[in-house]
Chains A and B, each alone.
Chain A
Amino acid sequence: MHEETVYDALTAAHGDDARWAFGTGFDDPLAGVDTTVPEGVHPADLGAYCLMLGDDALVLSQRLTEWVTRGPELEEEVALANIGLDLLGQARLLLARAASVGALGRSRGRATASIPDEDALAYFRDPDEFRCTGLVAAPGGDFGRTVVRLLVASTWRLALFVRLRDSRDPVLAAVAAKGVAELTYHREHAARWVLRLGDGTPRSHRRAQAGADGVWPLLADAFTATDVERRLTSAGVAVHPGELRQEVEGVLVHVLEQATLAVPPWPEDTAPSGREGQQGPELVALLRTLQSLAREHPAGTW
């Protein structure tokens, strides 16, 4: 790099925003993608389903980002930021897809016209309009609980995305195809930490076990379907979460046993709660932070 050229074009290159940040100059996340709604599918169902999967990614990304500048190793901060970035990428695509089929709800009316649809959804919906599960909304806790939750959430999501690659919705199929490689890495990364903590020192074993004991109950509604998921599964667009149970439980049991941890009792299935908009105080607090600045300046451009 020649030192005289560093500042060149700083003022000249404005107006071409895509040049500023590699991979971040995305004005339309769905540009070039076939966005036709498959025949026989109700757009409202497709929109609701995209919100479920998009909100999971957005909220888990936020939880992982909480570790940046607070991680146990610099390498780990880099890794968690990477995973957070992957999930943010998935969230943007899924929220944009939800918006493209009309799932904006009240958020569009609250946000200024210049705010992109996916931002209107992320920043201007109220907690009861979010469709994420309690599994991702729960606080991260210590690093032991964080990696157990990441293991569980990424195992669930990977099992889903592998199947979703065959979705009749071209956008969901494309998002899933891209996401499988990312989620495979997330799951492996989390599994390696669960092994290290479970089979590390007595203290780390206790903490990892406490993490597992705390996270397991969050699986209560992970395998039960909403009406939207049922209809979309019949239409070949979604995957019934019940189909994921065997794989998810198999992977989790395998990792915990390898990590010398006791597999906590599986919770009784309950009706979907987060997926139906029943959100707890943890999500309310998370969104209060996430949305604070955007809502403080609703006419602002960023």
Chain B
Amino acid sequence: MTAAPRDRALATDPGRQAEFDATIAADHRIEPRDWMPEGYRKTLIRQIAQHAHSEIIGMQPEGDWLLAAPSLRRKVILLAKVQDEAGHGLYLYSATETLGADRDELTDMLIEGRQKYSSIFNYPTLTYADVGVVGWLVDGAAICNQVPLCRSSYGPYARAMIRICKEESFHQRQGYELLLTMMRGTDEQRAMVQDAVDRWWWPSLMMFGPPDADSPNSAQSMAWGIKRHSNDELRQRFVDMTVPQAEFLGVTLPDPELALDPETGRHRFGAIDWVEFKRVLTGGGPCNAERITRRRATRDGNAWVTEAATAYAEKHA
């Protein structure tokens, strides 16, 4: 793709900067052909690529249950979901290409550890209840994070997010419905659901990122209209929405301090283990190595296929 801003030399052009600022201030969209500050472009590429990588790496934990899904209906639902995630990755990589990035280079950066993906996918899916909890809590948290991005100032990203959010909310409902069904099943199944909730609750809260006070990139991203709400604000919203769902489901969220504050109508919750967050973020999670190893093996093991497709296309151009 070559749709990157054509005049980087004018990256500090005050006239164009004023035009850009006015577009942002008016809450209008920046489109690929518009002038944009280099920092805005780079921040977007980093954020969208990280999101795309998360979709693709996120296929693995649930994908691990595809071959053993316990009914044909669940197999269809899970296969369609994992397929949707590949589709989301594709839309998002396309959005980065409108900013001048290259998908293969971004994939290389992921594999080499130069770009990140959501740390949540470094946790294993130990039972089939994890498939449901990932849908309910992880996709739920992702939706909280992502719905505001449907109003992102960058047009292609905002449009991709509208479609992604619709599909994610579908996945969340499917996950919750699996859990409801399992809770109506055997004692063993109910225990599986509770165990999965115990393992995924805190990592889900970490998905909103560090506390606002420790989130260095947030202020600029909010000013640019790339980000719309602070990490803590979104996290609080997620907790408030999830507590009644947990009660309805009949599971206990693993936080003794979790309680409704009658004055504010919001839930207070316990301290998040940010040491654990940083450990997983920096490669020390249970599955970091496994996730990247598979992505690398997939790229390297199949390189001969893409080379063949390129050679064939050139011969028959």
Q: Interface on A for B, CB 8 Å cutoff?
A: 1, 3, 6-7, 10-11, 13-14, 17, 20-24, 26, 62, 65-66, 68-75, 77-78, 81-82, 84-85, 88-89, 91-92, 95, 115-116, 118-119, 122-123, 143, 195-197, 199-201, 203-204, 207, 289-290, 292-294, 297, 299-302
B182 touches A301 (CB 8 A): yes
Residues of A within 8 A of B271 (CB): none
- Which of A17, A75, A91, A297 contacts B70 (CB under 8 A)? A297
The 0/1 profile, CB within 8 Å of A marked 1, for residues 303-317 of chain B is 011111111110110
Residues of A within 8 A of B77 (CB): 21, 24
Distance in angstroms between the alpha carbons of A14 and B180 in the assembled complex: 8
Q: What is the CB-to-nearest-CB distance from A114 to chain B, in angstroms, rounded to a whole number?
A: 9
A301 touches B184 (CB 8 A): yes
Distance in angstroms between the alpha carbons of A297 and B187 in the assembled complex: 11
- Minimum CB distance partner of B149 in chain A: A3
A297-B189 contact in complex given A21-B174, A85-B83, C-beta closer than 8 Å: yes
- Total A-B residue contacts, Cβ distance less than 8 Å: 197
- Minimum CB distance partner of B140 in chain A: A7
CB contact list, B63-115 vs A, under 8 A: 63, 65-77, 79-80, 82-83, 86-87, 89-90, 93
Q: CB of B218 within 8 A of chain A?
A: no
Residues of B within 8 A of A20 (CB): 170, 173-174, 177
B79 touches A89 (CB 8 A): no
Distance in angstroms between the alpha carbons of A73 and B71 in the assembled complex: 28
- Minimum CB distance partner of B163 in chain A: A1
Q: What is the CB-to-nearest-CB distance from B38 to chain A, in angstroms, rounded to a whole number?
A: 28
Residues of B within 8 A of A77 (CB): 59, 83, 86
Contact count band on B: 35 or more
A197 touches B308 (CB 8 A): yes
Q: CB of B7 within 8 A of chain A?
A: no
A200-B169 contact in complex given A26-B73, A300-B185, C-beta closer than 8 Å: no
Q: CB of B278 within 8 A of chain A?
A: no
B294 touches A75 (CB 8 A): no
A1-B147 contact in complex given A65-B79, A69-B63, C-beta closer than 8 Å: yes
Q: What is the CB-to-nearest-CB distance from A186 to chain B, in angstroms, rounded to a whole number?
A: 15
CB contact list, B31-85 vs A, under 8 A: 56, 59-60, 63, 65-77, 79-80, 82-83
- Minimum CB distance partner of A75 in chain B: B90
Q: CB of B181 within 8 A of chain A?
A: yes
Q: What is the CB-to-nearest-CB distance from A273 to chain B, in angstroms, rounded to a whole number?
A: 24
Distance in angstroms between the alpha carbons of A69 and B61 in the assembled complex: 10
A207-B72 contact in complex given A14-B177, A65-B67, C-beta closer than 8 Å: no
Q: Of A1, A66, A82, A91, which is in contact with the most chain B CB atoms at under 10 Å from its CB?
A: A1
Q: What is the CB-to-nearest-CB distance from B103 to chain A, in angstroms, rounded to a whole number?
A: 9
A17-B83 contact in complex given A1-B150, A200-B308, C-beta closer than 8 Å: no
- Which of B82, B188, B306 contacts A73 (CB under 8 A)? B306
Q: CB of B215 within 8 A of chain A?
A: no
B80 touches A24 (CB 8 A): yes
Known: A119-B73, A200-B307. 20 other contacts (CB 8 A): A1-B169, A3-B148, A20-B170, A21-B173, A21-B174, A21-B177, A24-B73, A69-B60, A69-B63, A75-B90, A92-B76, A116-B72, A197-B308, A197-B312, A201-B304, A201-B307, A203-B308, A204-B311, A300-B182, A302-B128
